Amino acid sequence: MDLQGKNTVVTGAGRGIGAALAETFHTRGANVVLADLVGASDAAALLGGDRVVGITADVSTEDGNYRLVESAREVFGPIDLFFANAGVGSGTTLADTPEEVWATAFDVNVHAHRWAAKYLIPEWLERGEGYFCSTASAAGLLAQIGSGPYTLTKRAAVAFAEWMSITYGDAGIKVTCLCPQGVNTEMLHGGDDPISGGNVVKAAGAVLEPADVAEQVANTIEAETFFVLPHPEVADYTQFKAADPDRWLSGMRKLQRRVLES
């Protein structure tokens, strides 16, 4: 997809990876709606001009997603590309994670993708085109040491993106799924919603800048391929895991012991 002139929506665009995605799409000529619980208008003002709008939105409910899709359509017209990027990192073990933390993780990291798609797909099927993107995580292909909610919800996000591609690909709908390891954002560095095991992520490989990740995403969208793996070693780990699951699990337990001992 050529991003020039395309109507795009990015959730979680108030900061971090979402803000970088919005900026990159804008630079490549897209009209961009930046949506977030907080900071959407400020992030939009930083980009400036009449091809950018910030909308305060809570994607943790079905109604929040419905209203976002409707508002975005009112701003620029039919949506060409929707990027479900907003995410939460909270949650740890079974004993230490309250039910409401599990619920929020599933609402924001998984159900938000499904709810947005529910209100996008009918129009896209009529038009015979549309582009759905999501930010999952390398944790969705592998695991997040120390966080049950993050591991489960990111795995589900990858599964949902794959299912979307399988189910609607022949009808002209494209899907791309972003699965990074460490990216230099507040989530990794312990802001208001730090990810459990963030130190493991930092130790596991390069911590990339959001702008560099966003460039790779835009290139992948232009090429219309499925995965964005900004850390190429994640593809190797995934193959290793599939080839020898017991050895992979044993290696992950060893990594966890090192983390607990440090």
Ligand X SMILES: NC(=O)c1ccc[n+]([C@@H]2O[C@H](COP(=O)([O-])OP(=O)(O)OC[C@H]3O[C@@H](n4cnc5c(N)ncnc54)[C@H](O)[C@@H]3O)[C@@H](O)[C@H]2O)c1
By CB under 6 A, name the binding residues for ligand X.
11-12, 14-18, 36-38, 57-60, 85-89, 108, 135, 137, 180, 182-183, 185-188, 193, 201
State the minimum distance, in angstroms, from the CB of residue 19 to ligand X: 8
Please say which residue, 34 or 173, places its beta carbon nearer to ligand X.
34
Please say which residue, 171 or 205, places its beta carbon nearer to ligand X.
205
State the minimum distance, in angstroms, from the CB of residue 237 to ligand X: 14
As a whole number of angstroms, the distance between CA 129 and CA 123 comes to: 9
Other Cβ atoms closer than 10 A to 63: 9
Strands of 173-178's sheet in order across = 52-56, 31-36, 7-11, 81-84, 130-135, 173-178, 227-228
Please say which residue, 12 or 130, places its beta carbon nearer to ligand X.
12
State the minimum distance, in angstroms, from the CB of residue 88 to ligand X: 5
As a whole number of angstroms, the distance between CA 60 and CA 111 comes to: 8
C-beta pairs of 66-74 under 8 Å, 24+ apart in sequence: 66/115, 66/119, 68/9, 68/11, 68/35, 68/116, 69/9, 69/116, 69/119, 69/120, 70/119, 71/33, 72/7, 72/9, 72/33, 72/35
Please say which residue, 46 or 125, places its beta carbon nearer to ligand X.
46
State the minimum distance, in angstroms, from the CB of residue 18 to ligand X: 6
Please say which residue, 7 or 135, places its beta carbon nearer to ligand X.
135
State the minimum distance, in angstroms, from the CB of residue 74 to ligand X: 19
Please say which residue, 105 or 173, places its beta carbon nearer to ligand X.
105
CB 25 within 8 A of CB 217: no
Other Cβ atoms closer than 10 A to 226: 13
Q: How far is CA 115 from CA 35, 73, 143, 221, 222, in A?
A: 15, 16, 25, 22, 25
State the minimum distance, in angstroms, from the CB of residue 111 to ligand X: 10
